Structure 1
Amino acid sequence: MDPAQFDGYVRRGSVDTLSVADAARQLEAVTRYVAQDREVLAEREKRGDPPALDGEKALAFAYEAHSLSLTDATGETVAVLVSPAVLEVLEDAVGLLQGELDRLRGTAAPVTTEELRDELKGRMTS
């Protein structure tokens, strides 16, 4: 799916943009566009290559992911739409890196991946 198919699409440097009004009229297609990365992540995890396990791979996944910058009437970016898969990878990578820092500092307490996700999700809702 090519973002240029959206009415009102503008490419600003390396950023694909739509006005909030244009995105609202095409919300279902816009969400399908950014959601494509769920399948990409699932395939990588199935192959045993989860990007969250390596900081550089996590950043590359986020950078290469489908996203759209939403702009207001003045053209200023007010939001960025990304797949929840991107947030999941970045949250997991940050949590794993924090665990590694804690271990190196000698302050680490063993934490399971599930406990880590629960903790990260709790921080996001607080």
Structure 2
Amino acid sequence: LLKDKVHAVNITDGSRAVMRMCSLAMSKLLLENEIEPVMQISCRDRNKIALQSDILGANALGIRNILCITGDSVKAGDQQDAKAVHEFESVRLLQQIQAFNKGIDPTLGELSDNNTFIFAGAAADPNC
């Protein structure tokens, strides 16, 4: 229903701290149906290794738009006993994507599979 009617679709990543299908999988499904995804990545649920892996995986799958978010508090969700990670926050995640786009590996100095081609964005709360 959305094909040829929208430019892109934003795919949330555990919004309101509630379990849902991962944004990486849903983004790939949209690409397969010729709809441009904006994949969200939340820092709340992953350490930096997992975040870096998701970025590289998205790039390998042809996902080019990533919205970096820190993530809602687990206290807002339906599994309040879950542990938040927050090793990165949205600004640090933006910096990581920028480094990957330049071909920089955080430990080895240079990415083994060339640089990524990701358009990274973030959301801002004007009330803060």
* TM value normalised by structure 1: 0.31
More helix by percentage: 1
